[in-house]
Amino acid sequence: MGRDIEVIAISKFKATCLATLERVRRTGRPILVTRRGEPIAEVIPPRPPVRESGWLGSMAARATVTGNIVAPVAPVDEWEVVGT
């Protein structure tokens, strides 16, 4: 098959299921389960957990600032709130 994979009969897998699953998790090597020599399932190790990043800084380097972001959009004398 080209991969480093262990082949195990369904009867042996059934008898050693928990230990076999733990071995797959620990070693990272998949196991092919067969019935009468025919493949019926492939047991593969879980993917590594995705590290959740915090919301602070999660958008860093994803936007570009163009123009002056500090200056008001309209002159201050046009603001209705300022005049009252």
Two tokens, residue 73: 């959009």
* Residue extents of the structural domains in the chain: 6-43
- The confidence score (pLDDT) of residue 57 equals 77
pTM of the model: 0.55
Give phi and psi for 31, each to the nearest 5.
-130, 135
Q: What angle do CA 48, 53, 54 make, to 5 degrees?
A: 150
Does 3.40.1620 match the CATH number of domain 6-43? yes
Using DSSP's 3-state secondary structure scheme, residue 38 falls into strand
- Walking along the chain (84 residues) 10 residues at a time, the average pLDDT comes out as 81 97 95 97 91 76 84 80 58
